[in-house]
A and B are shown apart, each in its own frame.
Chain A
Amino acid sequence: SQTIHQWPATLVQPVGSPLSLECTVEGTSNPNLYWYRQAAGRGLQLLFYSVGIGQISSEVPQNLSASRPQDRQFILSSKKLLLSDSGFYLCAWSPGYEQYFGPGTRLTVT
């Protein structure tokens, strides 16, 4: 069966520091991959999605970037974090239509 992992689960970073969040999927190949951000008590904001290695589509211009170095690995990065980057980050994969989500990373920028 397929599983999706995210790490770290929790992260506290100072403003201006770099960021790297990792997402990996097991048990499938060539999945669509997605990064979402969710502010407290709010809906999901799609940040990036990828339909293949090296293929990244950005939904919202900001100081975040994404990369897909391997088929089942999706990385969310920032060179310098802002206070507004705080939130809950969810990675998801899709075999075609419905999406399945990872456990999420809670990021607090101080």
Chain B
Amino acid sequence: AQTVTQSQPEMSVQEAETVTLSCTYDTSESNYYLFWYKQPPSRQMILVIRQEAYKQQNATENRFSVNFQKAAKSFSLKISDSQLGDTAMYFCAFMKLMRDDKIIFGKGTRLHILP
């Protein structure tokens, strides 16, 4: 069975700094998807970034980028120039490369951006 582990329950950084959120996963699959979701205080879950395991290039979305290390089964999220609006719970997630399969979520990291 697949598992997703986020080892940092909570983090705080100053506005404009760069922060990295860690995620490791366990799977025997060779092809899969990895995601980072953001849940701000409004509790709306928002997809931040997606990485396909067969792609070697790390995904990037504006200030958000990932460091995908397939052999190490590591998938960290880097937020550059952090903003107050980045304050949220961040969930790492895994999905096998099957359309009808489920997404496995980690327990989340609560990120506070301090003014």
Contacts and interface: CB of A to CB of B under 8 A. Distances in A.
B25 interface: no
B55 interface: no
A44 B43 contact: no
Interface string A35-63: 00010011110100101000000010000
Interface in B17-67: 33, 35, 42-47, 50
Interface residues of A, number: 22
Interface string A81-110: 000000010101000111111011000000
A78 interface: no
Chain B contact patch, size range: 20 to 34
Interface string B73-114: 000000000000000000100010101101101111010000
Given A43-B91, A43-B105, A43-B108, A96 B99 contact: yes
A104 B50 contact: no
B100 A98 contact: no
Contact of B107 (A42, A51, A100): A42
Given A43-B106, A43-B107, A51-B100, A103 B44 contact: yes
A104 B91 contact: no
A104 B105 contact: no
15 contacts: A38-B43, A41-B110, A42-B108, A43-B106, A51-B100, A88-B43, A90-B45, A92-B45, A98-B33, A98-B47, A98-B50, A98-B95, A99-B47, A101-B45, A103-B44
Interface of A: 32, 34, 38, 41-44, 46, 49, 51, 59, 88, 90, 92, 96-101, 103-104
